[in-house]
DNA sequence: TTGTATGCGTTATCAA
DNA sequence: TTGATAACGCATACAA
């Protein structure tokens, strides 16, 4: 079933069929209808390979991430996919894990599939070491197709980032904690990515701005895991360190903090204030519900796709980086 | 950059380059190395369209779901994608929402992209009405390519289902509740899909088997939402109905039940036992943590991909339906 | 072991 | 407005 079958049955040439297929106006109404009727009768579908061979585009965007089962990333994929579809593009998903060589392989694979562009989701995808060459393969790929980063930053030609203002978000939360009377504030974080380090810096700077001491054991790098967060706080508590607030870089850690407080009969928020990050469903699972930072993921995603479409349209004034401010959603684990 | 460039630079014919590309053994070691070297130097990547044009396969599987931001589905996508990759296949994701015509459109789109097979995730994708023609478009598509259902069932040629034994899982949980002394058991559920109705039936049958009354207001269809579950239980409680157990078809509803109990100073599990479903992270967010049914999602997904590969290999003895038993993960909201 | 020639289904260029 | 034909890049049957 191909264009020849249609042309034969309709009594026209393949060129005419092709014109009908592509909405070319240089076809008489009568001929067009005749061809459309035949296409319908035959249930004809154009062959995407043959088309791609000529046009060298598949109207498909590759989406890469380390782990699509992560709630934040899963939501991003949903939004991206929806926006791309609205713009006539499909998406091809690659979950790479955290191994550098498998990230490279996935990128090569998407390129070999001739995707028209690539969207990378999550700051953990990139190596945060600016000295290393670990992101070189991405800048190299950007020579041939545009690359977009959602919640990640990398500079370079044909690379576009859309990020949330993580530094300012954590700075604000920390400041609010201090303003509401907290002085011994623990910060639990999950990642040393660009975004992760920005958040940490926000915490430190807010302490400094208020003349509070930055204590190493009050900043803890922790796997993204409820139990681990609870364990570390228990450990800190048992070791005699006192703290009246916990700020986290992810809601799961904040859930751990709530569980720690409940297990030790520490009242929330009077004796211990807790703030989460990402404003996920986890923030409303606990009792009390958790104050959390809304990172505007949907807006990040729609902005990324918008920029992508502009780049495809040949607009060469698309900003390399877009920063979107976060919101703080106040609930019952804080007294501000 | 194509096969001709490589052949010219390597001083061989395009046929030889193609043979090297496809691992054909009828090439001398010397020639092979020469060609590989040139391919490397030129950074040559074969054009997938040209290849697909001849072979009419893209080594790509379409994955369809209603909503990839649903935690259950997000996990399924992760597992499926990983298994497909392990077998040399890529995946193309389509989130359709719940609208029938957009489901049909997405299916058409995947077919027009010449995917080699389609995996549909989630029982909500299918219409559960066996009388309606709403699933006809799927059986029609199955005439041309194999269709796999993960946690969904549809019978027909070239359609394969992998499902969890939901009926028996809920039957077991309900029986255990009864054995541990509960008599007034509420069942909250989110869906009237095939899987959803099976679960409901499991609940009813377990009650009947123990000579307990099936009361309509003790079975409630509820959106997948923490607050809604809490509200319904409050309503039931306020209306004077007494209950000593809540079984749910999703962890989110069980979280709502925990919140209801905490808000009303009802002790868990003594005064109220609670069971969730899907054994998601939500089950361990609350205090106490929730007993939940592990639906073996990873096993469902690997089994589906296994079956897919067997079908592609021409194995015509692949079972149309595979049923995998669930596990009950006992935690602190039940006394069994 | 290697090379030549053809077909895959479409789009686009040129001619009519 | 329509038709004939080249081009896209690869795999493969057949020839050498």
Domain match, A277 and A314 both: no
The mean predicted confidence, pLDDT, of chain A is 93
Residues 6+ apart with CB under 8 A from A35: A6, A10, A12, A16, A17, A20, A27
Contact (Cβ atoms closer than 8 angstroms) between residue A151 and residue A300: yes
Query: Which structural domain range is residue B231 located in?
Result: 166-294
Q: Are residues A96 and A150 in the same domain?
A: yes
Instruction: pLDDT band for A324, please (50, 70, 90 cuts).
Output: very high
Give the pLDDT mean for B218-239: 97
* H runs (alpha helix) in chain B: 3-10, 14-21, 29-42, 48-55, 71-86, 100-112, 136-141, 166-179, 194-209, 226-238, 251-263, 297-312
Structural tokens at position A169: 């978000």
Predicted confidence band at A235 (pLDDT cuts at 50, 70, 90)?
A: very high
The answer on B225 and B171 residing in a single domain is: yes
How close B213 comes to chain A (CA, Å)?
32
Q: Which nucleotide is nearest to B56 (CA to C1')?
A: C8
Q: Do A143 and A181 belong together in one domain?
A: no
Instruction: Report, as an integer, the average pLDDT of A191-210.
Output: 96
Whether residue B335 is contained in a domain is answered as no
Which one of A44, A50, A52 would you mutate to disrupt binding with B, by most B Cβ within 10 Å of its Cβ?
A52
**B120 beta carbon < 7 A from strand C?**
no
Q: Which of B316, B30, B336 is nearest to B177 (CA)?
A: B336
Peptide bond into B269 cis (omega under 30): yes
Instruction: Name the least confident of A228-232, A288-292, B126-130, B189-193.
Output: B126-130
The more confident residue out of A285 and B59 is A285
Residue B58 confidence class, pLDDT cut points 50, 70, 90: confident
Q: Which chain A residue lies closest to B85 (C-alpha atoms)?
A: A94
Are both A255 and A315 inside the same structural domain?
A: no
What CATH number corresponds to the domain at position B246? 3.40.50.2300
Residues B80, B119: contact at Cβ < 8 Å? yes
Q: Best interface-test mutation with B: which of A70, A90, A231 has the largest number of B CBs within 10 A?
A: A90
Query: What mean pLDDT comes out for the span A56-70?
Result: 87
Query: Which pLDDT band holds residue A273 (cuts at 50, 70, 90)?
Result: very high
Is B213 contained in some domain? Answer: yes
Two structure tokens written together for A328: 């703080």
Contact (Cβ atoms closer than 8 angstroms) between residue A248 and residue A276: yes
Please check the confidence at residue A178 and state whether its pLDDT lies above 90: yes
Q: Per-residue pLDDT for A144 more than 90?
A: no
Over residues B170-195, mean pLDDT: 97
pLDDT (tens digit, 9 = 90+) per residue, B128-153? 777 788 999 999 999 888 999 999 99
Q: Which residues pair with A79 in a beta bridge?
A: none
Q: Are A234 and A169 in contact (CB under 8 A)?
A: no
Q: What is the per-residue pLDDT for B328?
A: 98
Please tell me whether residues A144 and A250 are part of one structural domain: no
pLDDT at B90 over 90: no
C-alpha to C-alpha distance for A177 and A19, rounded to whole angstroms: 65
- For residue A164, the SS3 value is strand
Q: Which tokens belong to B116?
A: 């080699």
Domain shared by B97 and B185, yes or no: no
Same domain, B174 and B227: yes
Asked if A193 and A283 sit in the same domain, the reply is yes
B175 and B288 both lie in a single domain:
yes
**Number of structural domains found in chain A:** 3
Chain B residue with the nearest C-alpha to that of A71? B71
pLDDT-derived band at A236 (thresholds 50, 70, 90) equals very high
Alpha carbon distance B149, B151 (integer Å): 6
Residues B170 and B222 in one domain: yes
Looking at the predicted structure, is the pLDDT value of residue A25 above 90? no
Residue B306 pLDDT > 90? yes
Q: Does a structural domain hold residue A75?
A: yes
């Amino acid at each position: 079933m191909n264009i020849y079958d249609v042309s034969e049955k309709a009594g026209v040439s393949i060129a005419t069929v092709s014109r009908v297929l592509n909405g070319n106006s240089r076809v008489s109404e009568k001929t067009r209808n005749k061809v459309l009727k035949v296409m319908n009768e035959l249930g004809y579908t154009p062959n995407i390979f043959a088309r791609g061979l000529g046009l060298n585009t598949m109207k498909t965007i590759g989406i890469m991430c380390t782990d699509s089962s992560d709630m934040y990333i899963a939501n991003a994929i949903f939004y991206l996919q929806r926006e791309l579809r609205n713009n006539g593009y499909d998406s091809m998903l690659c979950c790479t894990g955290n191994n550098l060589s498998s990230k490279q392989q996935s990128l090569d694979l998407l390129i070999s599939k001739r995707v028209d562009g690539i969207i990378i989701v999550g700051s953990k995808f990139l190596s945060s070491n600016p000295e290393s060459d670990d992101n070189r393969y991405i800048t190299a790929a950007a020579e041939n197709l545009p690359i977009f980063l959602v919640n990640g930053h990398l500079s370079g030609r044909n690379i576009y980032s859309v990020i949330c203002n993580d530094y300012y978000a954590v700075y604000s939360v920390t400041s609010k904690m201090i303003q509401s009377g907290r002085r011994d504030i623990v910060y639990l974080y999950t990642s040393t990515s660009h975004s992760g380090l920005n958040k940490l810096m926000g915490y430190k700077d807010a302490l400094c701005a208020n003349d509070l001491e930055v204590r190493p054991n009050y900043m803890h790098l922790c796997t993204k895991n409820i139990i681990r967060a609870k364990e570390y706080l228990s450990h800190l508590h048992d070791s005699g360190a006192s703290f009246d607030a916990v700020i986290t870089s992810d809601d799961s850690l904040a859930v751990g903090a709530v569980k720690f407080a409940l297990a030790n009969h520490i009242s929330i928020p009077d004796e211990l204030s807790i703030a989460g990050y990402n404003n996920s469903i986890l923030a409303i699972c606990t009792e009390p519900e958790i104050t959390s930072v809304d990172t505007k993921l949907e807006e990040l995603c729609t902005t990324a796709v918008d920029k992508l479409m502009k780049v495809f349209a040949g607009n060469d004034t698309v900003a390399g980086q877009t920063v979107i401010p976060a919101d703080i959603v106040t609930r019952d684990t804080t007294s501000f």
